[in-house]
Structure 1
């Protein structure tokens, strides 16, 4: 069965993910063992530290695919980027220096700064949607601003953005608070799919199998299958629709 990972940092030595080829091959083997058959290579770009140009990512991905074949690792990979929300993004798009999740340029991984959601974020996503680009907001459950005010994510979903939860978040690797928020987003139908966001072994590898096992147990097989299908649709530039609702309000316990 095809299992697509739309977000990973396993290209060697290109950002804060895998430091070298041996580590990358180990991460790829771990991904395959976790059931992943196809993966987007999504190094950071425009985040203030890393600027991975489109042409370089394409070359690095081709070189790594060759290494995978030579080492008999059955993982098919594609070049992409994790794009940081940045005022320079429109110019990078004009310069054809941005990679998407699909060849048609329909879906793009968009990362907010980890500490908050910038005030201009909605204006930027509006402009991207106006260009025919659907932003996929990555790991919103780990954004401090959204963690404090989870309802803020809905504003972007209402615009037409999609969201991707990190599998490790959903199974508690980043702590209970983040796991509980991931649970709430999933339960409200505000999540399109999971991704590994794999960086290094042993703590930042793929946990897709565990996440899908939990999802099937808590939300049912149909929801788990829809997450998997959405990932396939994203890389094939097919439609992805969220049947979402507002988050349930947390129960308050009053002391008298």
Structure 2
């Protein structure tokens, strides 16, 4: 399996605090069946994890995983928050954040927790026009998507992909996120799954999420989901 959203990089945000915890997370991920991880440290007003830092830390962690014979490949990325349209545009223009994987055809981004950014459709369209597929992180956790049932489908119609989190599907973010996550799967609106793991407690658990996905959508949809996720890394 491939995890496209994981805060496994050490000492950069609210994820792994040090290299030892990063390695411990990688061991958990490997036991879960994950073989590729896109590192996605936060890129927001609190944790401005620049692309050069992502690549440097990734290389350091990859060397340690190789040294300890943990057969996981790491790929660059960021989880970019729509702090504001101006914030997003400035940092995109300066190439401050990393796209997902080395092909760089997808961007993981999230809404503010304080409310929906009305500039989202415009930003989504600009990314698509530039050949970049925007992937919305954990929409099932945001009340405004649950409260307005047409809001997310309108973005999906533009070409947005969603990333539903395994923790939501197993109930770790509460019953509302769990119900909406399952509803997105049933509607065909869960384009990717990921862990959004942060540490050894909020751990990589993609297998559990994939089991829920297959229970709701069936084996054929799971095959299509796997292919879609692989396409992000071109593997």
Q: Settle same-fold status: TM greater than 0.5.
A: yes
Higher mean alpha-carbon deviation, 143-152 vs 11-20, is at: 143-152
Task: Indicate the residue corresponding to 1:72 in structure 2.
Answer: 69
Q: 1:218 aligns with which of 216, 219, 233?
A: 216
Question: C-alpha separation between the residues in 1 aligned to 2:53 and 2:123?
Answer: 25
Q: How many corresponding residue pairs?
A: 233
Question: C-alpha separation between the residues in 2 aligned to 1:145 and 1:61?
Answer: 34
User: Unpaired runs of 5+ in structure 2?
Assistant: none
TM-score (normalised: structure 1): 0.87
Question: C-alpha separation between the residues in 1 aligned to 2:138 and 2:191?
Answer: 11
CA contact (8 A) 2:195 2:205 kept: yes
- 1:88, CA displacement in angstroms? 2.0
Q: Cα 1:104–1:73, aligned 2, differ >3 Å: closer, same or farther?
A: closer
Question: C-alpha separation between the residues in 1 aligned to 2:49 and 2:27?
Answer: 24
Q: 2:226 aligns with which of 225, 228, 232?
A: 228
Question: C-alpha separation between the residues in 2 aligned to 1:139 and 1:210?
Answer: 16
Write the deviation string for residues 145-194 of structure 1: whole angstroms up to 9, x where unpaired. Answer: 11322321111101111111001111111111110000111000011110
Write the deviation string for residues 11-43 of structure 1: whole angstroms up to 9, x where unpaired. Answer: 111101111111111111111111100010000
Q: Secondary structure at the match of 2:80?
A: strand
User: Bigger radius of gyration, 1 or 2?
Assistant: 1
Question: C-alpha separation between the residues in 2 aligned to 1:93 and 1:104?
Answer: 16
Task: Indicate the residue corresponding to 2:52 in structure 1.
Answer: 55
Task: Indicate the residue corresponding to 1:40 in structure 2.
Answer: 38
CA contact (8 A) 2:161 2:192 kept: no
User: Unpaired runs of 5+ in structure 1?
Assistant: 238-256
Question: C-alpha separation between the residues in 1 aligned to 2:21 and 2:101?
Answer: 26
Greater percentage in helix: 2
Question: C-alpha separation between the residues in 1 aligned to 2:216 and 2:122?
Answer: 35
TM-score (normalised: structure 2): 0.94
Q: Secondary structure at the match of 2:136?
A: strand
